[in-house]
Amino acid sequence: MSKEKPSLYSYFRSSASYRARIALHLKKIDFKYEAVHLLKDGGQQHALNFLAVNPMGQVPTFVDGMNVISQSMAIIDYLDSKWPEPRLFPQNEAERASVIEFCEIINSGIQPLVNLKVGQTLEKDLGATEAQVKQWRQGFTVRGFQALEKILARTAGTYCFGSQITAADVFLEPAVFSAIGLGVRIEEFPLIKKIHDRLSQVDAFKKAHPSNQPDTPLEN
């Protein structure tokens, strides 16, 4: 069991899966990519063979031997404990808290409000139009980005926190990808834009990009 490669259950467009992929590639962990299509067949995350792995039916799910972990914060924390190089959460308690705070503005402040399920609920239960769902998503993204930009004014160097890539960058880049897809003008957030331009040149971020996964459709 311990000889087997770990697996990542992932969907190419899922923002949280993208975070997990970046962390895996930064740490150069050899893993098996298991595609779970969130729309095809009524959502493959509800299929019995995936529910047997993770009864929660969520991606990303990381499987390492007996350990089955979902939630990107939990996965990245686990990777950081088991494969500490390069370290994504700083060891100094105050720096570490600042990086977690930044990640959580994205993880709990933006992403839960712009995801697929929420859009579906807005349409189904509240009769929201496509334009209203887009405006909702843009609104919560812009509000979160305003907070991130303020933090970056104090913390940014080459990357979000000084000169080393941290978990903050791992969370930022997928949020920027989503924001661009939503038509948010990221030029209005110059520090986010500058860091995004740099991160998009880093090999691990390129490998993890939604356009470059085994389940990315050809036309993407």
Which are the contacts of 8, defined by CB distance < 8 A and separation ≥ 6? 17, 20, 21, 24, 31, 32, 33, 34, 60, 61, 62, 63
Binding residues for a copy of itself (CB under 8 A): 55-56, 66-67, 69-71, 73-75, 77-78, 81-82, 93-94, 96-98, 100-101, 104-105, 107-109, 111-113, 118, 121-122, 125-126, 128, 132, 135-136, 139, 147, 150-151
Q: Report in angstroms how near the CB of residue 92 gets to a copy of itself at its nearest.
A: 9
Q: Which amino acid is at 106?
A: I
The Cα–Cα gap between 18 and 178 comes to 11
Which of 110/195 has CB closer to a copy of itself?
110
Which of 132/211 has CB closer to a copy of itself?
132
Which are the contacts of 122, defined by CB distance < 8 A and separation ≥ 6? 128, 132, 133, 136
The answer to whether the Cα torsion of 70, 73, 74, 77 is positive or negative is positive
Which of 34/77 has CB closer to a copy of itself?
77
Which of 32/150 has CB closer to a copy of itself?
150
Q: Report in angstroms how near the CB of residue 218 gets to a copy of itself at its nearest.
A: 32
Q: Report in angstroms how near the CB of residue 166 gets to a copy of itself at its nearest.
A: 13
Q: In this structure, what DSSP letter does residue 212 have?
A: G
Q: Report in angstroms how near the CB of residue 207 gets to a copy of itself at its nearest.
A: 23
Cα atoms in the Cβ-side hemisphere of radius 13 Å centred on 203: 4
Which of 100/202 has CB closer to a copy of itself?
100
Q: Report in angstroms how near the CB of residue 104 gets to a copy of itself at its nearest.
A: 4
Q: Which amino acid is at 170?
A: V
Q: Which amino acid is at 137?
A: R
Which of 57/210 has CB closer to a copy of itself?
57
The Cα–Cα gap between 44 and 195 comes to 34
Q: Report in angstroms how near the CB of residue 19 gets to a copy of itself at its nearest.
A: 12
Which of 34/95 has CB closer to a copy of itself?
95
Q: Report in angstroms how near the CB of residue 21 gets to a copy of itself at its nearest.
A: 17
Return the H-helix or E-strand segment holding 33.
Answer: strand 32-35
The Cα–Cα gap between 88 and 191 comes to 20
